[in-house]
Structure 1
Amino acid sequence: MPNNKALTARALLAVVFWPSLFFFWCLGPFVFFLLSTTSSEVCPLLERREQFLTSANGTLPMLVLQNLIYAIPIGCLVLWSWLLPDPTRARHIVTCIKLFVVSAVLGALWEYGSSLVCDGYGQPFFSPAWRMTSYLPIADIVVNLPLYVLVFSLGRTFSTREDEPAQEPGETIS
Structure 2
Amino acid sequence: MTRLTARALVAVVFWPSLFFFWFLGPFVLFLLSTTSSEVCLRLESRAEFLAAANGTLPMLILQNLIYAVPIACLVLWNRLSPEPARARHIATCIKLFAVSASIGAVWDYGSSLTCDGYGQAFFSTAWQMTSYLPIASLLINIPLYVLVFSLGRAYSTRDDITEDGVVHPTGDNP
* Both structures adopt the same fold (TM-score exceeding 0.5): yes
Residue 73 (1) aligns with residue 70 (2)? yes
User: Counterpart of 2:97 in structure 1: which amino acid?
Assistant: F
Give ranges in structure 2 of 5+ residues lacking alignment. Answer: 167-174
Pairwise CA distance, 1:94: 0.4
> Please, which of 143, 146, 150 is the counterpart of residue 149 of structure 1?
146
Distance 1:129 1:13, change over 3 A: same
Q: CA deviation at 1:121?
A: 4.7
1:41-61 Cα shifts (integer Å, max 9, x gaps) = 000111111111100110000
Aligned residue number for residue 132 of structure 2: 135
Change (3 A) 1:9 1:53: same
The 3 A distance-change label for structure 1 pair 119 and 147 is farther
User: How many residues get paired?
Assistant: 166
- CA offsets 1:62-102 (integer angstroms, 9 cap, x no match): 00000000000000000000011011100000000000000
Equivalence for 2:87 = 90
Deviation at 1:5, TM superposition (A): 1.2
Indicate the residue corresponding to 2:99 in structure 1: 102
Superposed displacement of residue 122, structure 1: 6.6
Cα distance between partner residues in 2 of 1:162 and 1:52: 55
Q: Which runs of 5+ in 1 are unaligned?
A: none
Aligned to 1:63: 60
- 1:154 maps to amino acid: L
Q: CA RMSD in A?
A: 1.5
Alpha-carbon spacing, 1:114–1:162, altered in 2? closer, same or farther (3 Å): same
Normalised TM-score (structure 1): 0.91
Percent sequence identity is: 73
Distance 1:50 1:79 in 2: 44
Q: Which amino acid aligns with 1:59?
A: T
> Runs of at least 4 residues of structure 1 off by over 3 A?
119-123
- Structure 2 distance, partners of 1:75, 1:121, is 43
